[in-house]
């Protein structure tokens, strides 16, 4: 993937994340990695210079939770709340598409991958039971990880399903995924029986595979597992509810089932209670906050500030085009700040620098990639985003972080680089 030729990028500003901004600044790249950076004019002995002018260069966005493979579901049950959306819209549409629209699934995944690159995303954690998103992301030049999703709630023969899960994991590990990493994704507590969760826990630990799952996203999920009531519990009871471990809060359940022993990436956590924050703080779990999806599906606003202050690693993700209008990490940063400031009625710990960090280094940390990406530092890979600065009054006096977070838009992205290679340039596409 990487470009081995030495080259230098310069711009009006460099925001390394782990250090103070450089205005103006330059970055020297060799063999796909960052070898030096500094303020002022670039050195003459580091290779050809690409001058981006009145722009800011910062680490590429790490979208820590997405479903590129679900992009064909955009617009399904658009104005429904979570429970109606997933049961009456998404599930029936997925089954029809798998039978009739394989070409559309892949076409939409490719378009979504291009949308990510055009918006400055350089790394994505993809989750789906179909490989269309991973295939599209790798082909587009994104860095990524594919988490294969598993279910089993309605499997007629659970033992037979568990055997198929084992075979699928073995087959998946035999593939190279075009340089992408591979991981496991029990979809959720309400789609994965306890036996499936236990198997995936064991496979994660035995094979050293990362694990992620949706958790405590909706009020219906919280009520179903804690209190055994509500519409989701009624739906589970139409099948075999004894397949599921219930009677505890979702975070307590994954603790009891040993899922926390895998250092999982937990997505959403909108409904968690204060005791859950303490449990997570004592674990190595990371959390992905998807504010636009949560708001659109009317499930609430997660207590992210509590998690951050407790020392839990937090990242941002877009979720899918099925639950959000666009794959826009600029929008996720804004909605993170607006949602958290609204929930807590404070700006303490909720500034633009924090938002930018969660969208870059935060994602790298949660995915265990922070030794590789997430900051512009010598020794890291050259994954970066170049964004046009607004130099016109009155926005010419904004801080760099404010320019990026409050005013940044995908259409302001001039270029996206992954592993020292320009994979998107405005006007040229990817």
Closest by CA position to 38, among listed 29, 26, 28 = 26
Can you give the pLDDT at residue 213?
98
Residue 349 tokens read as: 């710990």
Convert the pLDDT of each residue in 217-255 to its tens digit. Answer: 999 999 999 999 999 999 999 999 999 999 999 999 999
Task: Give the long-range contacts of residues 304-308, CB within 8 A, separation 24 or more.
Answer: 304/336, 304/340, 305/340, 305/343, 305/344, 305/349, 305/350, 306/274, 306/277, 307/269, 307/277, 307/280, 307/281, 308/349, 308/354
pLDDT value at residue 44:
87
Measure the CA–CA gap between 382 and 103, rounded to whole angstroms: 33
- pLDDT over 60 (residue 1): no
DSSP symbols for 310-332: TT-EEEE--B-TTTSS---HHHH
Q: Which fold has domain 7-59+375-425?
A: Urease, subunit C; domain 1 (2.30.40)
Residue 5 pLDDT > 60: yes
Q: What is the pLDDT of residue 430?
A: 53
Query: pLDDT at position 2, please?
Result: 57
Share of the chain above pLDDT 90, in %: 90
What digits encode the pLDDT tens for the residues 88-122? 888 888 877 777 788 999 999 999 999 999 999 99
User: Under CATH, which architecture does the 61-366 domain have?
Assistant: Alpha-Beta Barrel (3.20)
Query: Mean pLDDT across the stretch 73-78?
Result: 89
What pLDDT is attached to residue 3?
64
Neighbours of 372 (CB within 10 A): 17
Cα(403)–Cα(400) distance, rounded to whole angstroms? 5
Length of the chain: 430
pLDDT number for residue 4 = 73
Q: Render pLDDT for 316-372 as a digit per residue (tens, 0 to 9).
A: 999 999 999 899 999 999 999 999 999 999 999 999 999 999 999 999 999 999 999
The percentage of residues in the chain with a pLDDT greater than 70, rounded to a whole number, is 99
Q: Check the CA dihedral 300-343-59-416 and report its sign.
A: positive
* pTM (two decimals): 0.96
CB-CB neighbours of 305 under 10 Å? 18
- How does pLDDT run across 367-405, given as a tens digit for each residue? 999 999 999 999 999 999 999 998 777 777 789 999 999
The three-state secondary structure class of 150 is: strand
Q: What is the pLDDT of residues 256-313, one digit of tens each?
A: 999 999 999 999 999 999 999 999 999 999 999 999 999 999 999 999 999 999 999 9
According to the model, what pLDDT value does residue 396 have? 76
Joined together, the tokens standing for residue 383 give 């994954």
Please state, in angstroms and rounded to a whole number, the distance separating the CA atoms of residues 140 and 273.
Answer: 40
Average pLDDT over the chain reads 95
CA atoms of 37 and 16, how far apart (whole Å) = 9
189-to-66, 232, 389 alpha-carbon distances in Å: 19, 11, 44
Q: Cα dist. 132→72, 137, 167, 358, 392 in Å?
A: 11, 9, 19, 27, 42
Q: Is the pLDDT of residue 429 over 60?
A: no
| pLDDT (0 to 100) of residue 99 | 72
Boundaries of every domain in the chain: 7-59+375-425, 61-366
């Amino acid at each position: 993937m990487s470009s081995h030729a030495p080259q230098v990028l310069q711009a009006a500003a460099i925001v390394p994340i782990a250090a103070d901004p450089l205005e103006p600044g330059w970055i020297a790249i060799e063999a796909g990695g960052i070898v030096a950076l500094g303020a002022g004019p670039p050195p003459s002995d580091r290779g050809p210079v690409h001058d981006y002018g009145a722009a800011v260069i910062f680490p590429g966005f790490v979208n820590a939770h997405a479903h590129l493979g679900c992009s064909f579901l955009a617009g399904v049950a658009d104005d429904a709340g979570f429970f109606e959306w997933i049961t009456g819209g998404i599930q029936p549409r997925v089954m029809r598409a798998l039978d009739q629209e394989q070409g559309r699934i892949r076409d939409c995944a490719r378009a979504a991958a291009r949308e990510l690159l055009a918006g400055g995303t350089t790394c994505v954690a993809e989750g789906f039971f179909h490989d269309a998103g991973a295939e599209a992301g790798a082909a587009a030049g994104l860095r990524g990880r594919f988490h294969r999703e598993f279910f089993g709630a309605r499997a007629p023969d659970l033992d037979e399903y568990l055997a198929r899960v084992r075979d699928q994991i073995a087959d998946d590990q035999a593939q190279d995924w075009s340089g992408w990493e591979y991981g496991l994704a029990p979809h959720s507590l309400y789609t994965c029986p306890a036996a499936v969760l236990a198997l995936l826990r064991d496979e994660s630990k035995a094979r050293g595979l990362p694990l992620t799952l949706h958790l405590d996203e909706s009020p219906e999920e919280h009520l179903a597992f804690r209190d055994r009531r509500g519409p989701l519990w009624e739906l589970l009871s139409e099948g075999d509810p004894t397949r599921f471990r219930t009677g505890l809060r979702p975070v307590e359940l994954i603790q009891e089932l040993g899922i926390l022993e895998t250092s999982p990436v937990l997505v959403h956590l909108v409904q968690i209670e204060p005791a859950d924050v303490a449990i997570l703080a004592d674990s190595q779990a990371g959390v992905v906050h998807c504010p636009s999806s949560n708001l659109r599906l009317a499930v609430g606003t997660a207590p992210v500030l509590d998690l951050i202050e407790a020392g839990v690693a937090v990242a941002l993700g877009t979720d899918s085009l099925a639950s959000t209008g666009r794959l826009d990490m600029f929008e996720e940063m804004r909605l993170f700040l607006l949602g958290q400031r609204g929930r807590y009625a404070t700006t303490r710990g909720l500034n633009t620098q924090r938002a930018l960090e969660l969208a870059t280094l935060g994602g790298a940390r949660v995915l265990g990639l922070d030794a590789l990406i997430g900051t512009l530092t010598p020794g890291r890979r050259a994954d970066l985003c170049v964004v046009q600065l607004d130099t016109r009054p009155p926005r010419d006096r904004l801080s760099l972080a404010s320019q990026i977070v409050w005013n940044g838009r995908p259409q302001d992205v001039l270029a996206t680089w992954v592993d020292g290679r320009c994979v998107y340039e405005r006007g040229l596409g990817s």
